[in-house]
Amino acid sequence: MSESPRFTAAARGDDGLDRMIERLRQRSTVADAEFDAIYPEWVRRLSENHWTPVDVCVRAAELLAVDEDSQILDVGSGAGKLCLVGAATTGARFVGVEQRPRLVEVARAATRRAGLGNVEFIHDNAMSLDWGRFDGFYFYNPFYEHVAGFMPRIDEPIIVSPHLFTNYVVAACVKLFAAKRGARVVSYQGFGGPMPKGFRRLLREPAGAEYLELWEKSEPDEQ
Q: Which domain holds residue 174?
A: 9-217
Residue 83 lies in a domain: yes
Residue 222 lies in a domain: no
Would you write out the chain's pLDDT as a tens digit for each of its 223 residues?
344 333 343 344 467 788 999 999 998 999 999 999 999 999 999 999 899 999 999 999 999 999 999 999 999 999 999 999 999 999 999 999 999 999 999 999 999 999 999 999 999 999 999 999 999 999 999 888 877 665 667 766 777 888 899 999 999 999 999 999 999 999 999 898 999 999 999 999 999 889 999 999 986 554 4
Full-model pTM: 0.89
CATH code of the domain containing 106: 3.40.50.150
Residue 154 lies in a domain: yes
Residue 4 lies in a domain: no
The DSSP result for the chain, as a single string, is: -PPPS---GGG-SHHHHHHHHHHHHTT----HHHHHTTS-HHHHTTHHHHS--HHHHHHHHHHH-SSTT-EEEEET-TTSHHHHHHHHHH--EEEEEES-HHHHHHHHHHHHHHT-SSEEEEES-GGGS--TT-SEEEESSTTGGGT-TTSPPPSS-----HHHHHHHHHHHHHHHHTSPTT-EEEEES--SSPPPTTEEEEEEEEETTEEEEEEEE-SPPP-
Residue 160 lies in a domain: yes
Tens of pLDDT along 131-174? 999 999 999 998 888 776 656 677 667 778 888 999 999 999 99
Please count the structural domains in the chain: 1
